[in-house]
Amino acid sequence: MNKIYISFLGVTNYTKCNYYYPTKKNIVKEVRFIQEAVVQLLCDDFGEDDKIIVFVTKAARDKNWYDNGHKTRDGKVVEQLGLQTKLQELNLKSKFEMIEIEEGTNEEEIWRIFQNIYHHIQSGDEVIFDITYGFRSLPMLGVVLIHYAKMLKNITVRAVVYGAMEVLLKTGKGIAGIPLEERDVPILNLTSFALLQQWTNAARDFTLHGNATKIAELTEQKMLGESLEEMTLSFSTVRGKDIVEGNIFRLVEDNIQQIQMQDSIAPLSPLLEKVKQKITPFQPDNLNNGLLAVEWCIGHQLIQQGITMLQEVMTTFVCEILKNENSNLNLDYMLSADRWLVSKCLIIKDDLPESKWKGPLRFDIEKTRTIRASQIVTDVKGHYKTIGKMRNDINHAGFNENPMIPKEFKNELERIYTEIKSIFSKYKL
């Protein structure tokens, strides 16, 4: 991984100042160009394979890259060293170069500037991006460029820096009216603002697609990252028991609340609140979590998972409804044997003689008769058989007779879910 410092040079006749980062214990005094300070304060570990690049317009090149580029009002040359000479005097280990760009006065020119800068960033580079000088669109261009290069070139952003000259302007004296020894300018690291954009995208990815991977990658709070990952994996791997128990949701909420109490993370709090709101409907030890999970899968295009979840939720609800209506059945939806019996009662043909019953149906004939005669089984069995066929079709990748087309899976899942939800709402649990 190589390091690269990217900066811009304007046409202003810059005044000498003292730049410091992060505190005045680290200060570079009496320099005209912020680049002189940044390369000493933030690029001190640059080596021969690392680069310092200064992008300039033709006017900036003539006025500030080369020596003696400015003139007084009466046309006399102002004798002062340009940035090229000042960088040479630092005897840097790393290479530095000037690259000419257009003025950026229209959209086409800005796009070409974007491509020019992007071209000089290599895959895996560690980047320091300086937005102190240059045209007004530079900050936006820089933020977009950073995210673009992170995605396509896997760069690492060490810092986004800005020389806050406004600190001196607040005095109302004008910079020239402030003694040089008092012209102390902080170099701000704005990387957190670029990171906030990543958080925004990650939160959007979660709320729209149910994918917490990016949030887990971004957060330095290990427990939050791990709990989010466990929660989203519970949906993608159809962990119905964990979803119904609801502990995975409470753990995420608790971790978010702890982070929100930290003042340093205040800008992230509203984004984390969006995440929390999305999982609030899931309650501890609640069968309705299963239905909510199906809705989650539908909303986030987890169609195969939604089909599996819906069929298992149907088995769970039927077990619980039957137990509430007839305690003598002694059904427990957590027991595999009871789930197997109920599922068989839901798919057995109505006209199949008892003499041909097999498996769990024969273990307790009277119990099987009672279950099959119940209203809930009558209400659900048609949907259960349909969702079962869909589950078989999708799990066998369509290598079966009369496979469904992709869009039908989603449409049928939504239809059956809506009807099943309505059916279950009529029964008291």
Instruction: Give the per-residue pLDDT at 264.
Output: 56
Tell me which DSSP letter residue 391 carries. H
Instruction: Give the per-residue pLDDT at 220.
Output: 64
Res 193 pLDDT > 90: no
If we measure between CA atoms, which residue out of 147, 144, 262, 249 comes closest to residue 202?
147
Res 34 pLDDT > 90: yes
Tell which CATH architecture fits domain 3-189. Answer: 3-Layer(aba) Sandwich (3.40)
Instruction: Give the per-residue pLDDT at 124.
Output: 96
Per-residue pLDDT, averaged over 129-152, amounts to 82
If we measure between CA atoms, which residue out of 29, 30, 45, 38 comes closest to residue 9?
38
The model's pTM is 0.73
Instruction: Give the per-residue pLDDT at 1.
Output: 81
Instruction: Give the per-residue pLDDT at 144.
Output: 83
Local confidence band at 133 (pLDDT 50, 70, 90 cut-offs): confident
Question: What is the DSSP secondary-structure string of 48-83?
Answer: TT-EEEEEE-HHHIIIIISTT-EE-TTS-EE----H
Token readout for 243 is 């979803």
Instruction: Give the per-residue pLDDT at 20.
Output: 97
Instruction: Give the per-residue pLDDT at 222.
Output: 72
Give the lowest-confidence range in 203-207, 228-232, 345-349, 419-423.
203-207
Per-residue pLDDT, averaged over 27-50, amounts to 97
Question: What is the DSSP secondary-structure string of 305-344?
Answer: HHHHHHHHHHHHHHHHHHHHH-GGG---TTSHHHHHHHHH
Contacts of 378 (CB under 8 A, 6+ apart): none
How many whole angstroms separate alpha carbon 341 and alpha carbon 353? 17
Give the lowest-confidence range in 165-169, 283-287, 394-398.
165-169
Res 201 pLDDT > 70: yes
Instruction: Give the per-residue pLDDT at 271.
Output: 74
Strand partners, 161: 130, 189
Q: Does residue 195 or residue 367 have the better pLDDT?
A: 367
Instruction: Give the per-residue pLDDT at 284.
Output: 95
Per-residue pLDDT, averaged over 303-326, amounts to 96
Local confidence band at 46 (pLDDT 50, 70, 90 cut-offs): very high
Dump pLDDT digits (tens) for 261-287.
Answer: 775 556 667 778 888 888 999 999 999
Instruction: Give the per-residue pLDDT at 265.
Output: 58
Instruction: Give the per-residue pLDDT at 158.
Output: 93
Per-residue pLDDT, averaged over 290-314, amounts to 96
Res 221 pLDDT > 90: no
Instruction: Give the per-residue pLDDT at 87.
Output: 97
Tell me which DSSP letter residue 100 carries. E
Instruction: Give the per-residue pLDDT at 266.
Output: 61
Q: Does residue 97 or residue 143 have the better pLDDT?
A: 97
Per-residue pLDDT, averaged over 416-421, amounts to 98
Residue ranges, comma separated, of all CATH 3.40.50.10640 domains in the chain are: 3-189
Res 178 pLDDT > 70: yes
